[in-house]
Chains A and B, each alone.
Chain A
Amino acid sequence: MPLSLQEVQRIAELARIGVSDAEARAVQSQLNDIFKLIGRMQKVDTEGIEPMSHGQDLELRLREDIVTERDQREQFLSLAPEREQGLYLVPKVIE
C-alpha cells in the first residue's frame, strides 16, 4: 500500500525533520519506489526463523559499575551552539 502525502508528513514530524508540501510530494514517490523494493521480503516464508539482530550472535559484556570517564564538562560544553552557566541552552519549553 503506497504512502499517502499525509503519512509522509507524519513520518517527517516523528523524525523531527521539517518538510514543505513540495518536498513531501517529491520524497513520497521515492519512498514508494523504495518500499516496493523492500516489499520483496514479504513473499518469503520466515515462520520459525530466529531474528538476527547483530552481525554476530555476540553476548554483550558486563563491566564493573564504576566511573570510567573523566570530567570534560567544559570542553564538551564549548561545542554547544548556545550555553549558559554550565548548561545547554534551548528555546523556552515551559511557560
Chain B
Amino acid sequence: MLNASLKELSAALAQRKISSVELTRLFLERVEKLNGSLNAFITVDAEKSLAQARAADERIAKGATQPLTGIPVAHKDIFVTRSWLTTCGSRILSNFVSPYDAHVIERFNGAGAVILGKTNMDEFAMGSSSETSFYGPVKNPWGQAYVPGGSSGGSAAAVAARMAPAATGTDTGGSIRQPAALSGVSGLKPTYGLVSRYGMIAFASSLDQGGPLAKSAEDLALLLNAMAGFDARDSTSVERVAEDYRRELDKPLAGLRIGVPKEHFGEGLAGDVCRAVEAALEELEKLGAKRVPIGLPNSGLSVPAYYVIAPAEASSNLSRFDGVRYGHRAKEYRDLADMYRRTRAEGFGAEVRRRILIGTYVLSHGYYDAYYLKAQKIRRLIADDFVEAFKRCDVVVGPTSPTVAFKIGAKAADPVQMYLNDIYTIPANLAGLPGMSIPCGFGRDDLPVGLHIVGNYFSEAKMLNVAHQYQKATDWHQREPAGIQP
C-alpha cells in the first residue's frame, strides 16, 4: 500500500480491501517512524486525520465517492488550514491556528481526501534547500546528509520516503520542481492562475502557484483535477472550463516536437545530470518524439530579474506580519515602532530578512526604475523567448536543477550560490508557464536527477502525457530510497 498509485488506492478503497481509517493509520505510523530523522512534517494530528478518514469511510459506504475520497494527502504548511497550526516555516506564525481554509484545502476536503499533516518548508517558501525553516532542516530520504531541495522540501521528502501517497506544494521560482528533482519524485507547477492562491500565504504574488507532488505523472493528473479551478477570491484566478488532466495520458508521442534549449546545457550543468537528461531525451526519441534545437537567449537573466521581482513583492506581502493582528509579538519594546522592529527581527529568519531588505531597497525612492521596472522589462524578454520557442516545439525539455542534491550546510552561507540552483526553473515562473519535474536517473552518490518539462500556457494535459509515456517506458519514478533509518 505504501507504494501503490493513487488509482490503486482509490480502487482498493472502493472495493473495501482497505478502509480510509486503516490507510490513514498506515501512513501516520510511517510518519511517526521516520519523521524524527527526516523532519518532513511540522504538524501531525492523528485525531483530526482519523476523524476525516472516518467521514470518508461513511462516504464510501454510501457510494458517494470521488477519485481522492479516503486518500491521505500531506499539505505544505503554506496553505492555511482551519483549526490546524499553519506556520509557513516561520517563527512569526509559530502560534497561528488558521480561522479558515485555503481554496486548495477546501478542494481536497470537498473531494473527501484526508489531511495527513502539514509539511516542513523553507521559511515563507524562500529557499532552495528547506534549511531556512524555523523548525529545522528537512533531510533527503536518499541520503540524510543532503538537502531535499526547497522550498517544498518537506512535501518532496514525504512522498519520496513513502510517508504520504501525495502532497501539495507551491512554486515561486522552482519550489515544487527543484525539490521533486532532488528527492526523486514527480512535481508539477501549473500555469499561473490555474490553482487559486486564496489562503496560500503570499511570497511573490505575480509568481506564486500551487501544485501537486506525487510518485508519478498519472497521480499528478488526478491531483491537479482536484486542485485546479476558478476561485473568485483570487483576483488572478483564471476562468476556464474544467479539464480532465488525465485525458491525454495514453496518447503516443509520435511526432511530438521537443525543444531543447542550448542555454540549459552549458556552463554550470554538472556532468552526471547532463548524462541522465541526455539519456532521457534519447528515450523520448525512441518513443517517437523529435528533437528541435531552440534558444532561450535571455534565460541567463532570469535569476537577476527574479531576485528583484520576488523580493520586491515579498517585502510588500510580508509587511502584514507586524505583531498586531496575529502571530508572534516581541515581549519587550519601548514604543510602537520598536515593537515592529523587534517583532520582525525576532520573527523572521536570516534569509527572509535578507529578501525583505532587497525588496525594500529596490522599491525605495530613486531606485524603482533602475531595478523593479528594469526587471519587469527583462521579464518580458524572457517570456517572449518562450513565445518564439513554442512556435517550433510542443514542450521544452532540459535539466530541472544544475546538480543533484548538495550537502546540508554547503550553500547556507552563500546566498548567491543558493539562488543559482533555480536557474532552469525560474524562467517558467517569470513567464507564467507550466513546468514539471520527473525522475530520470541517478547521478553522484546515487542521488536522483530530475527532467524538466515546460509547456505552453494551459498545456498541462500535454506535459502529463509526455511524462506518463516516459514513465511507462522507464522505472526511475518507481525507485525508492533504501534503508531509511528511523
Contacts and interface: CB of A to CB of B under 8 A. Distances in A.
Partners in one complex: yes
A91 interface: yes
Grouping DSSP codes into helix (H, G, I), strand (E, B) and loop, the B interface class, with mixed when no group exceeds half, is helix
B341 A14 contact: no
B315 interface: yes
A7 B377 CA distance: 26
A54 B208 CA distance: 11
A18 B342 contact: yes
Given A41-B378, A49-B377, A51-B377, A11 B360 contact: yes
A18 B342 CA distance: 6
A40 B420 CA distance: 14
A38 B337 contact: no
The residue among A3, A16, A53, A63 with the most chain B CB atoms within 10 A of its own CB is A16
B304 A39 contact: yes
Contacts of A12: 357
A46 interface: yes
Contact of B325 (A49, A50, A75, A80): A80
B376 to A, nearest CB: 4
Interface residues of A, number: 50
A94 to B, nearest CB: 10
Contacts of A81: 323-324, 326-329
B345 A91 contact: no
B416 A37 contact: yes
Interface of A: 3, 7-8, 11-12, 14-19, 27, 30-31, 33-42, 44, 46, 49-56, 58, 60-61, 63, 72, 75-76, 79-82, 88, 90-93
A49 B381 contact: yes
A92 B337 CA distance: 11
A91 B432 contact: no
Contacts of B356: 15, 17
Contacts of B324: 80-81, 88, 90
A63 B381 CA distance: 33
A90 B340 CA distance: 10
Interface residues of B, number: 73
A81 B324 CA distance: 7
Given A80-B326, A90-B324, A91-B339, A16 B344 contact: yes
A56 B457 contact: yes
A21 to B, nearest CB: 13
A46 B357 contact: no
Contacts of B96: 79
Contacts of B300: 40
Contacts of A54: 192, 206, 236, 432
Contact of A79 (B99, B193, B207, B319): B99
A55 B345 contact: no
A17 B432 contact: no
Contacts of A14: 360, 364
Interface string B394-418: 0000000000000000000011100
B341 A17 contact: yes
Contacts of A53: 206, 376
Nearest to A47: B377
14 contacts: A3-B361, A11-B361, A14-B364, A18-B338, A18-B341, A18-B345, A27-B354, A33-B414, A44-B381, A46-B377, A51-B373, A51-B376, A51-B377, A76-B325
